[in-house]
């Protein structure tokens, strides 16, 4: 496969991302002492930073891979929403799919990091489902984009914050099927069984075992296949791409699976790795790659961002170099 040509084709793709967006806020500092008030570190702040998070981080990954993201999401009508829109504009990401709901707060996750170690996270958010009026407004946004743009793939990025509802899922998937657009899901728990008919379902290990209420060891792939097969059959899902952190990823297709080991890396932070995996997978499916190649490339992408602290994006050239080096070394080993 000519990966350079493949990655160049990403620039022609448009991906519609639907889901829970947020601001990822960072306080970077140093720790020199323990608080006299409690046995906790005192962080002297050196730098503050705000980044796009959640579904917006998926959009930013799509952008960094050279494609065009279109984000449909909900914010509050507050200062954090203004900050969020400014961050989108700074990255040249379309803001026309964002709806401000005055009854909600914009989700903000604040991470405190001392000496590159994640010390604590503070969440400001609402997690109840959007009301009927906002739900209809978001459906209309989604349908308008599907009717007016040539969308190559659709991602549901679900963090259980209430943006995605069963009706939004059903309406979008039905339209996608008519238009022959692949649909991908990064699920949480509330909607776990609502994504009927999607192309690719991408839980992590905890979401997979908790969602199905099963006890499976992380390396028991045969047992995973049994439960994945049943889940795909009952929900009319084509493939399940399961991320296993240090064990890599595994892709299930009906009665078979392929496992890809994680890259040998020094893990700094797994935050946002799932966002990177599904963004990469969406462009692979949009480019009509097999699920084997989709899982292989997505595994590389997720591994690379784990080497960096905080929620970061995959860079196209970085991913391309990693795959080419892997293929070259594999060829040398097999000679």
Residue 332 has a pLDDT of 40
This prediction has a pTM of 0.91
Distance between CA 73 and CA 17 in Å, rounded?
A: 8
The question of whether 123 is a catalytic residue gets the answer: no
pLDDT in tens, the chain (335 residues): 788 888 888 888 999 999 999 999 999 999 999 999 999 999 999 999 999 999 999 999 999 999 999 999 999 999 999 999 999 999 999 999 999 999 999 999 999 999 888 899 999 999 999 999 999 999 999 999 999 999 999 999 999 999 999 999 999 999 999 999 999 999 999 999 999 999 999 999 999 999 999 999 999 999 999 999 999 999 999 999 999 988 889 999 988 899 998 776 544 445 557 898 999 999 999 999 999 999 999 988 887 765 654 556 677 778 888 777 766 555 344 44
Q: Check: CB of residue 182 under 8 Å from CB of residue 200.
A: yes
Q: Which among 214, 71, 223 is positioned nearest to 141, based on CA atoms?
A: 71
Catalytic residue among 8, 79, 275, 293: 275
Give the CA distances from residue 44 to residues 59, 81, 255, 311, in Å, rounded to whole numbers and listed in that order: 32, 27, 54, 21
Q: What domains lie within the chain, and their CATH numbers?
A: 3-32+41-334 (3.40.1190.20)
Q: Which among 329, 292, 280 is positioned nearest to 7, based on CA atoms?
A: 280
User: Tens digits of per-residue pLDDT, 226-279?
Assistant: 999 999 999 999 999 999 988 889 999 988 899 998 776 544 445 557 898 999
Q: Which among 135, 52, 136, 127 is positioned nearest to 94, based on CA atoms?
A: 52
β-pairing verdict for 249-253 and 239-243: antiparallel
Q: Where are the beta strands (DSSP E) in the chain?
A: 14-19, 21-34, 41-54, 68-75, 98-100, 108-114, 117-124, 153-157, 183-186, 200-201, 239-243, 249-253, 256-260
């Amino acid at each position: 496969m000519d990966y350079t040509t493949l990655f160049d084709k990403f620039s022609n793709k448009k991906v519609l991302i639907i889901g829970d967006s947020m601001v990822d806020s960072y306080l970077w500092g140093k720790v020199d002492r323990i608080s006299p008030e409690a046995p906790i570190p005192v962080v002297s702040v050196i730098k503050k930073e705000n980044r796009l998070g959640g579904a917006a981080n998926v959009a930013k990954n799509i952008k960094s891979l050279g494609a065009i993201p279109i984000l449909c999401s909900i914010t509050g009508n507050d200062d954090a929403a203004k900050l969020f829109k400014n961050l989108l504009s700074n990255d040249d990401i379309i803001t026309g799919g964002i709806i401000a709901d005055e009854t909600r707060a914009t989700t903000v996750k604040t991470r405190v990091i001392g000496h590159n170690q994640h010390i604590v996270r503070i969440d400001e958010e609402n997690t109840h489902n959007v009301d009927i009026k906002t739900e209809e407004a978001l459906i209309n946004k989604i349908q308008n984009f599907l009717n007016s743009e040539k969308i190559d793939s659709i991602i549901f990025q679900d963090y259980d914050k209430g943006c995605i509802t069963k009706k939004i899922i059903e309406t979008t998937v039905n339209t996608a099927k008519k238009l022959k657009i692949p649909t991908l899901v990064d699920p949480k728990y509330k909607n776990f069984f609502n994504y009927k008919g999607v192309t690719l379902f991408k839980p992590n290990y905890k979401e997979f075992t908790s969602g199905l209420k099963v006890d499976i060891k992380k390396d028991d792939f045969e047992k995973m296949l049994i439960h994945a097969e049943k889940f795909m059959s009952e929900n009319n899902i084509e493939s399940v791409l399961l991320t296993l952190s240090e064990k890599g990823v595994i892709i299930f297709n009906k009665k078979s699976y392929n496992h890809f080991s994680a890259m040998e890396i020094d893990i700094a932070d797994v935050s946002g790795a799932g966002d990177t995996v599904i963004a990469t997978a969406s462009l692979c499916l949009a480019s009509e790659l097999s699920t084997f190649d989709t899982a292989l490339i997505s595994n590389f992408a997720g591994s690379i961002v784990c080497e960096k602290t905080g929620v970061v994006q995959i860079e196209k050239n970085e991913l391309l170099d990693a795959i080419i080096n892997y293929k070259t070394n594999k060829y040398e080993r097999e000679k």
